[in-house]
């Protein structure tokens, strides 16, 4: 199972909870995780997809769009507590600069502003913790997990610095789709995740939303992202909840109807949440 970052990163923690017996393989970037799954070097990839406070991880969504052979087989929500970590003997009053992943900095913006800390973006939270451990400078701290503090021998200078006490990150599990595409079927309450594009004309997106509602699917989320290499046009991501009385072929019927009004439709996955 592949993840981005170093040991102790939130993706590594999520991977260990979902795949406790897998051989965890670290990669430096999210595209490398996708490539590892695409090339068969890893069966699964575990990536952050959305945060309840900071919003979606747009770069991961764009990678799903540009990797048509990759599907999402599972989503899992994980509560996130971000702590402020410093080297042994450091004090909160010593800290001048805080480094972490941009998402962690965004989630902790209230705390950071209250203390007037300078900030610096880092590739991920665990690597930020590893860096300050090596730097051994009491004026530089990192936002990361308590597990990471233990791993790199750091002190926790402040607990729960993320603004939202119910801060949760949704992680996805990706796989390479098999040669034989499976029938689209879902049970009541399951989630249907898809990407689609429509002609850039009035009413096209509204018609898609209307069809989804008419078929009894509840739209939990809709996101738009710029189409690669097409100026000022967009693709859409939606996550739907299958209706309580869903029949096994309801998803296939929905997709068939959407294909008649959309330019492209692609199913990412059907799963429990």
210-229 pLDDT per residue, tens: 999 999 999 999 999 999 88
Reference 115, options 53, 82, 154, 158; nearest CA is 158
- pLDDT by residue (tens digit) across 6-34? 888 889 999 999 999 999 999 999 999 99
Provide the 10 A C-beta neighbour count for residue 259.
Answer: 12
What is the rounded end-to-end Cα distance, in angstroms, of the chain?
A: 20
On the question of pLDDT at 206 being above 60, the answer is yes
Reduced to 3 states, what is the DSSP secondary structure of residue 6?
Answer: coil
> What is the mean pLDDT of the segment spanning 39-49?
95
Q: What is the pLDDT of residue 180?
A: 47
* Alpha-carbon gap, residue 102 to 54, rounded angstroms: 10
Q: For residue 181, what pLDDT band results from cuts at 50, 70 and 90? A: low
- Structure tokens given for 196: 């689609």
What is the DSSP-derived secondary structure letter of residue 187?
A: -
- pLDDT by residue (tens digit) across 130-149? 999 999 999 999 999 998 99
* Alpha-carbon gap, residue 259 to 4, rounded angstroms: 34
* Alpha-carbon gap, residue 157 to 91, rounded angstroms: 6
């Amino acid at each position: 199972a592949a993840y981005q970052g170093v040991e102790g990163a939130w993706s590594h923690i999520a991977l260990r909870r979902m795949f406790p017996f897998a051989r965890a393989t670290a990669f430096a970037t999210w595209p490398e995780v996708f490539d590892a799954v695409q090339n068969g070097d890893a069966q699964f990839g575990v990536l952050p997809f959305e945060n309840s406070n900071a919003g979606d991880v747009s770069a991961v969504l764009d990678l799903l769009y540009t990797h048509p052979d990759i599907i999402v087989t599972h989503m899992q929500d994980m509560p996130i507590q971000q702590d402020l970590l410093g080297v042994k003997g450091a004090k909160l009053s010593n800290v001048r600069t805080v480094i972490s992943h941009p998402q962690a900095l965004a989630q902790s913006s209230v705390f950071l502003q209250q203390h007037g800390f300078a900030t610096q973006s880092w590739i991920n939270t665990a690597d930020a913790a590893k860096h300050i451990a090596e730097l051994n400078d009491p004026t530089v701290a990192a936002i990361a997990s308590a597990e990471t503090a233990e791993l790199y021998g750091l002190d926790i200078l402040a607990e729960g610095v993320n603004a939202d006490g119910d801060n949760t990150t949704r992680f996805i599990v990706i796989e390479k789709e098999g040669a034989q595409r499976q029938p689209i079927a879902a049970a009541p309450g399951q989630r249907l995740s898809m990407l689609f594009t429509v002609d850039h004309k009035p009413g096209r997106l509204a018609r898609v939303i209307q069809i989804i509602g008419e078929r009894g699917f509840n739209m939990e989320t809709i996101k738009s992202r710029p189409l690669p290499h097409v100026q000022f046009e967009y693709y859409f991501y939606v996550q739907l909840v299958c209706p309580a009385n869903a029949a096994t072929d309801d998803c296939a019927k929905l997709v068939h109807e959407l294909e008649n009004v959309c330019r492209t439709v692609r199913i990412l996955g059907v799963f429990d949440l």
